[in-house]
Homo-oligomer: A and B are copies of this chain.
Amino acid sequence: MEPRTQGFLFDLDGTLVDSVYQHVLAWQDALDATGIELSVWRIHRKVGMSGGLFANALLRETGREVSPELAAELRRRHAEAYAARADRVRPLPGARELLAHLTSVGAPWAIATSGYRESAGPTIELLSVAPDVPVITRDLVERAKPDPDLFLAAAEKLGIDIGDCSVIGDSVWDLLAARRARALGVGVLSGGYGREELERAGAYRVYEDPADILQHLDELGLR
Protein backbone atom coordinates (compact mmCIF):
# COMPACT_ATOMS: atom_id res chain seq x y z
CA MET A 1 0.00 0.00 0.00
CA GLU A 2 1.18 3.51 -0.86
CA PRO A 3 1.45 5.71 2.23
CA ARG A 4 -1.27 8.36 2.07
CA THR A 5 -0.09 11.91 1.49
CA GLN A 6 -1.28 14.46 4.02
CA GLY A 7 -2.27 17.95 2.88
CA PHE A 8 -2.37 21.23 4.79
CA LEU A 9 -5.02 23.84 4.03
CA PHE A 10 -4.39 27.21 5.64
CA ASP A 11 -6.70 30.08 6.35
CA LEU A 12 -4.97 33.42 5.71
CA ASP A 13 -5.97 36.31 8.03
CA GLY A 14 -5.14 35.57 11.67
CA THR A 15 -3.58 32.23 10.73
CA LEU A 16 -0.60 33.13 8.53
CA VAL A 17 -0.79 36.93 8.67
CA ASP A 18 -1.37 39.20 11.68
CA SER A 19 -4.25 41.15 10.15
CA VAL A 20 -7.40 40.34 12.13
CA TYR A 21 -7.49 43.41 14.38
CA GLN A 22 -6.95 45.73 11.40
CA HIS A 23 -9.81 43.97 9.57
CA VAL A 24 -12.02 44.31 12.65
CA LEU A 25 -11.52 48.07 12.98
CA ALA A 26 -11.83 48.50 9.20
CA TRP A 27 -15.26 46.83 9.46
CA GLN A 28 -16.14 49.18 12.30
CA ASP A 29 -15.23 52.12 10.04
CA ALA A 30 -17.37 50.73 7.22
CA LEU A 31 -20.37 50.03 9.49
CA ASP A 32 -20.13 53.41 11.23
CA ALA A 33 -20.00 55.19 7.87
CA THR A 34 -23.30 53.59 6.90
CA GLY A 35 -24.92 54.31 10.25
CA ILE A 36 -24.74 50.78 11.68
CA GLU A 37 -23.53 50.64 15.29
CA LEU A 38 -22.11 47.28 16.30
CA SER A 39 -19.80 46.55 19.25
CA VAL A 40 -16.26 45.75 18.14
CA TRP A 41 -16.14 42.31 19.80
CA ARG A 42 -19.21 41.30 17.80
CA ILE A 43 -17.42 42.29 14.61
CA HIS A 44 -14.33 40.31 15.72
CA ARG A 45 -16.45 37.19 16.21
CA LYS A 46 -17.76 37.49 12.62
CA VAL A 47 -14.52 38.11 10.71
CA GLY A 48 -13.94 35.30 8.21
CA MET A 49 -17.64 34.46 7.95
CA SER A 50 -19.25 34.75 4.51
CA GLY A 51 -20.66 38.16 3.57
CA GLY A 52 -24.16 36.74 3.18
CA LEU A 53 -24.18 35.30 6.69
CA PHE A 54 -22.63 38.53 8.05
CA ALA A 55 -25.53 40.43 6.46
CA ASN A 56 -28.04 38.05 8.11
CA ALA A 57 -26.31 38.52 11.46
CA LEU A 58 -26.42 42.30 11.07
CA LEU A 59 -30.16 42.13 10.40
CA ARG A 60 -30.69 39.96 13.47
CA GLU A 61 -28.46 42.00 15.80
CA THR A 62 -29.16 45.55 14.64
CA GLY A 63 -32.51 45.23 12.87
CA ARG A 64 -30.98 46.78 9.75
CA GLU A 65 -31.79 45.07 6.47
CA VAL A 66 -28.68 44.75 4.32
CA SER A 67 -29.66 45.27 0.67
CA PRO A 68 -27.26 44.13 -2.08
CA GLU A 69 -26.36 47.81 -2.59
CA LEU A 70 -25.56 48.30 1.10
CA ALA A 71 -23.56 45.06 1.12
CA ALA A 72 -21.50 46.31 -1.83
CA GLU A 73 -20.96 49.67 -0.13
CA LEU A 74 -19.85 47.98 3.12
CA ARG A 75 -17.39 45.82 1.18
CA ARG A 76 -15.97 48.83 -0.64
CA ARG A 77 -15.64 50.92 2.52
CA HIS A 78 -14.08 48.02 4.40
CA ALA A 79 -11.51 47.49 1.63
CA GLU A 80 -10.59 51.19 1.73
CA ALA A 81 -10.35 51.31 5.51
CA TYR A 82 -8.29 48.12 5.58
CA ALA A 83 -5.92 49.38 2.87
CA ALA A 84 -5.25 52.46 5.03
CA ARG A 85 -4.15 50.14 7.88
CA ALA A 86 -2.38 47.46 5.84
CA ASP A 87 1.10 48.89 6.29
CA ARG A 88 1.04 47.60 9.89
CA VAL A 89 0.22 44.04 8.84
CA ARG A 90 3.00 41.45 9.10
CA PRO A 91 3.30 37.70 8.63
CA LEU A 92 2.75 35.89 11.94
CA PRO A 93 5.84 34.48 13.66
CA GLY A 94 6.93 31.27 11.97
CA ALA A 95 4.50 31.56 9.03
CA ARG A 96 7.13 31.75 6.29
CA GLU A 97 9.26 29.12 8.05
CA LEU A 98 6.36 26.68 8.46
CA LEU A 99 5.35 26.96 4.80
CA ALA A 100 8.98 26.60 3.67
CA HIS A 101 9.36 23.53 5.87
CA LEU A 102 6.26 21.87 4.44
CA THR A 103 7.55 22.54 0.92
CA SER A 104 11.00 21.16 1.80
CA VAL A 105 9.60 17.88 3.13
CA GLY A 106 7.24 17.52 0.17
CA ALA A 107 4.02 18.06 2.15
CA PRO A 108 1.47 19.70 -0.14
CA TRP A 109 -0.22 22.82 1.15
CA ALA A 110 -2.64 25.49 -0.02
CA ILE A 111 -4.28 28.70 1.17
CA ALA A 112 -8.08 29.10 1.36
CA THR A 113 -9.49 32.46 2.41
CA SER A 114 -12.96 34.05 2.59
CA GLY A 115 -11.32 37.23 1.23
CA TYR A 116 -11.57 38.30 -2.39
CA ARG A 117 -8.51 38.02 -4.63
CA GLU A 118 -8.25 41.81 -4.82
CA SER A 119 -7.88 42.28 -1.06
CA ALA A 120 -6.12 38.98 -0.28
CA GLY A 121 -3.48 39.47 -2.99
CA PRO A 122 -1.25 41.98 -1.16
CA THR A 123 -1.54 39.93 2.05
CA ILE A 124 -0.39 36.77 0.28
CA GLU A 125 2.56 38.69 -1.18
CA LEU A 126 3.84 39.20 2.38
CA LEU A 127 4.34 35.43 2.55
CA SER A 128 6.31 35.10 -0.72
CA VAL A 129 4.13 32.17 -1.82
CA ALA A 130 5.48 30.29 -4.88
CA PRO A 131 3.25 30.56 -7.99
CA ASP A 132 2.47 26.83 -8.00
CA VAL A 133 0.83 26.92 -4.55
CA PRO A 134 -2.98 26.81 -4.83
CA VAL A 135 -4.62 29.93 -3.42
CA ILE A 136 -8.41 29.69 -3.24
CA THR A 137 -10.14 33.04 -2.73
CA ARG A 138 -13.80 33.95 -2.38
CA ASP A 139 -14.13 34.66 -6.11
CA LEU A 140 -13.45 31.02 -6.99
CA VAL A 141 -16.23 29.27 -5.07
CA GLU A 142 -19.98 29.48 -4.67
CA ARG A 143 -20.05 29.93 -0.90
CA ALA A 144 -17.49 31.16 1.64
CA LYS A 145 -16.87 29.78 5.16
CA PRO A 146 -18.37 28.20 7.16
CA ASP A 147 -19.49 26.35 4.03
CA PRO A 148 -16.84 23.79 3.10
CA ASP A 149 -16.39 24.97 -0.53
CA LEU A 150 -13.09 26.85 -0.07
CA PHE A 151 -11.35 23.94 1.62
CA LEU A 152 -12.85 21.37 -0.76
CA ALA A 153 -11.58 23.37 -3.73
CA ALA A 154 -8.12 23.67 -2.16
CA ALA A 155 -7.89 19.90 -1.54
CA GLU A 156 -9.01 19.23 -5.08
CA LYS A 157 -6.31 21.54 -6.47
CA LEU A 158 -3.75 19.63 -4.42
CA GLY A 159 -5.20 16.34 -5.68
CA ILE A 160 -5.53 15.04 -2.14
CA ASP A 161 -8.62 13.54 -0.53
CA ILE A 162 -10.12 16.11 1.87
CA GLY A 163 -10.16 13.41 4.56
CA ASP A 164 -6.36 13.40 4.43
CA CYS A 165 -6.13 17.17 4.91
CA SER A 166 -5.65 19.31 8.00
CA VAL A 167 -7.41 22.67 7.97
CA ILE A 168 -5.56 25.27 10.02
CA GLY A 169 -7.51 28.34 11.05
CA ASP A 170 -7.99 30.95 13.79
CA SER A 171 -11.78 31.22 13.83
CA VAL A 172 -14.75 29.03 14.57
CA TRP A 173 -15.82 29.50 10.92
CA ASP A 174 -12.67 27.70 9.77
CA LEU A 175 -13.33 24.86 12.18
CA LEU A 176 -16.99 24.55 11.24
CA ALA A 177 -16.03 24.54 7.54
CA ALA A 178 -13.39 21.89 8.31
CA ARG A 179 -16.00 19.66 9.95
CA ARG A 180 -18.45 20.12 7.12
CA ALA A 181 -15.65 19.26 4.67
CA ARG A 182 -14.66 16.17 6.74
CA ALA A 183 -11.13 17.49 7.25
CA LEU A 184 -9.15 17.60 10.50
CA GLY A 185 -9.55 21.03 12.10
CA VAL A 186 -6.57 22.63 13.87
CA GLY A 187 -6.82 25.97 15.66
CA VAL A 188 -4.42 28.85 16.21
CA LEU A 189 -4.78 31.56 18.86
CA SER A 190 -3.20 34.21 16.65
CA GLY A 191 -6.55 35.57 15.46
CA GLY A 192 -7.57 36.48 19.00
CA TYR A 193 -10.16 33.77 19.71
CA GLY A 194 -9.73 31.85 22.96
CA ARG A 195 -8.36 28.31 23.12
CA GLU A 196 -11.54 26.85 24.56
CA GLU A 197 -13.73 28.46 21.89
CA LEU A 198 -11.67 26.75 19.20
CA GLU A 199 -11.64 23.44 21.05
CA ARG A 200 -15.40 23.52 21.47
CA ALA A 201 -15.75 24.28 17.76
CA GLY A 202 -13.99 20.98 17.11
CA ALA A 203 -10.27 21.73 16.89
CA TYR A 204 -8.20 18.56 17.29
CA ARG A 205 -5.37 20.71 18.66
CA VAL A 206 -4.89 24.43 19.28
CA TYR A 207 -1.49 26.08 18.80
CA GLU A 208 -0.41 29.63 19.51
CA ASP A 209 0.66 30.54 15.98
CA PRO A 210 2.52 29.09 12.97
CA ALA A 211 5.81 29.04 14.90
CA ASP A 212 4.16 26.83 17.51
CA ILE A 213 2.76 24.50 14.83
CA LEU A 214 6.24 24.15 13.31
CA GLN A 215 7.50 23.00 16.73
CA HIS A 216 4.78 20.35 16.95
CA LEU A 217 4.26 19.03 13.42
CA ASP A 218 4.70 15.47 14.68
CA GLU A 219 1.47 15.92 16.70
CA LEU A 220 -0.35 16.44 13.39
CA GLY A 221 1.06 13.18 12.13
CA LEU A 222 3.48 14.63 9.58
CA ARG A 223 6.34 12.18 9.11
- Report A's interface with B, CB cutoff 8 A: 14, 18, 20-22, 24-25, 28-29, 32, 37, 39-41, 44, 88, 90, 92-93, 189-197, 200, 209
Contacts and interface: CB of A to CB of B under 8 A. Distances in A.
B25 A40 contact: no
A90 B32 CA distance: 11
A21 B18 contact: no
Contacts of A22: 25
B39 A93 contact: yes
A200 to B, nearest CB: 7
A39 B92 contact: yes
Contacts of A197: 194-197
Contacts of A40: 18, 20-21, 192
Q: Say what secondary structure dominates the interface of chain A.
A: helix
Contacts of A41: 14, 18, 20-21, 189-192
Assembly of this chain: how many copies? 2
Contacts of A14: 41
Contacts of A194: 193-197
Contacts of A192: 40-41, 44, 192
Nearest to A22: B25
**Top-9 shortest CB links A-B:** A194-B194, A196-B196, A194-B197, A41-B192, A21-B40, A41-B190, A18-B39, A44-B192, A18-B40
15 contacts: A18-B41, A20-B41, A21-B28, A21-B41, A21-B44, A22-B25, A25-B88, A28-B88, A37-B90, A39-B92, A40-B192, A41-B189, A41-B190, A196-B197, A196-B200
Query: Most chain-B CB neighbours within 10 Å: which of A24, A39, A200?
Result: A39
Contact of A21 (B24, B32, B90, B195): B24
A25 B21 contact: yes
Nearest to A40: B21
Contacts of A32: 88
Contacts of A25: 21-22, 25, 88
A211 to B, nearest CB: 10
